[in-house]
Amino acid sequence: MPRAKTKTPGRERLHVSLVAIPEVAVSCLTGFYDVFRIFGILGTVDAAIPLESPFDVEIVSLERGTLITSSGLPIATHREFREVQHTHIIIAPTILVEGADWKCGRYPELVAWMKHHHARGAMLCSACSGVLLLGETGLLDGLDATMHWAVTKTFQRNFPKVNLRLEEVLIATGARQEIVMSGASASWHDLVLYLIARQVGPNAAQAIARFLLLQWHRDGQTPYIPFAPPTEHGDSIVRQLQDWLVKHYSVANPVEELVRRSGLPERTFKRRFTQATGLPPISYVQHLRVEEAKRRLERTTTPIDQISFEVGYEDPASFRRLFRRVTRVTPGDYRRKFRLPAFAAPPTYI
């Protein structure tokens, strides 16, 4: 017998404003929309999911009508943001800009609207690079934030007072935990599940995650972030040594070899290298070695102990400890997470 539709007495439906600007990534935007709208469909599947959606979701934009998104696909928007007089949750989905370079001041009225509703109690949320819009409100100054690492430079240049914590896949901050950000790309899963768990209940979030195969990225973003050391620091000696290390990261006694090649006193070299790259020489080499190990774990079947030796470590146990410290996962877990699954491998023909 089907469940009768019920509504929790006295509970107001939560209005969700999905912000759509020309730079928005359509997959992230519509992903949020679909999940918030699916309650009525899935309510007959699992008793933990309300039959009537607790969310009233709208796509709001600069103007009502059809919006051409960053991918070139058109979407229908529901209202201009100026028409929204009351909302509980504002979400800025992923935005894509040429060269990953965000210019502040593109949408001053929209930013002011977000600040206005935050002051009235609304939650402000972002997925991936959508945090660039949140940064313009000034509400993140002095707080922690996360996002996609690919827009780190433009974010830091525009919002130097924000404390970036790229290792985190989701951060809730503010006096009421009312500002919520998720990290790269598919971490919008974590954000939408977090909002459902917080506003509806953890059982509903778990049920929806199971049905839609949405994932909690429990290991954070660290395993995903590539090592990208600065090279435009202006120190030509350090830059030459960085280039040399790309192919010679596995040499024995790497710091001694770097000092010798620099022609500088050891203390002077270590000071200049750390100042230029942000890492002491030994830490820099360790990150290079781990990055190469990651590639081999992803793309080969070479045993982990052999990979350890190939990237410069004779003691596999030391390598495993280092790998886990840098990536937050073990080499074995990393291989299972990122290696191409057997069913996705190209077919072989006889």
Q: Say what the pLDDT of residue 350 is.
A: 56
What is the reported pLDDT for 41?
81
| pLDDT given for residue 11 in this prediction | 65
Report the alpha-carbon distance of residue 285 to residue 264 in Å, rounded.
19
Domains 14-224 and 236-338 share a fold: no
pLDDT of residue 4: 41
The pLDDT tens digits of the residues spanning 167-220 come to: 999 999 999 999 999 999 999 999 999 999 999 999 999 999 999 999 999 999
Q: Domain ranges in the chain? A: 14-224, 236-338
Q: Which residue ranges of the chain lie beneath pLDDT 50? A: 1-10
Query: Alpha-carbon dihedral of residues 300, 304, 305, 311, nearest 10 degrees?
Result: 60
Please state which architecture CATH assigns to domain 236-338: Orthogonal Bundle (1.10)
pLDDT tens for 160-170 read 999 999 999 99
Give pTM, 2 decimals.
0.89
Angstrom distance (rounded) from CA 80 to CA 176: 27
- pLDDT attached to residue 19: 98
Taking alpha carbons only, the member of 66, 84, 65, 71 closest to residue 28 is: 71
Match domain 14-224 to its CATH number in 3.40.1280.10, 3.30.70.580, 3.50.50.60, 3.40.50.880. 3.40.50.880
Can you give the pLDDT at residue 9? 44
Q: Mind listing the pLDDT tens digit for each residue in 109-133?
A: 999 999 999 999 999 999 999 999 9
Cα 268 to Cα 31: distance, rounded to the nearest angstrom: 53
| DSSP-assigned letter for residue 102 | P
What are phi and psi for residue 22, nearest 5 degrees? -55, -25
Give residue 114's identity as a one-letter amino acid code.
Answer: M
| Average pLDDT over all residues of the chain | 93
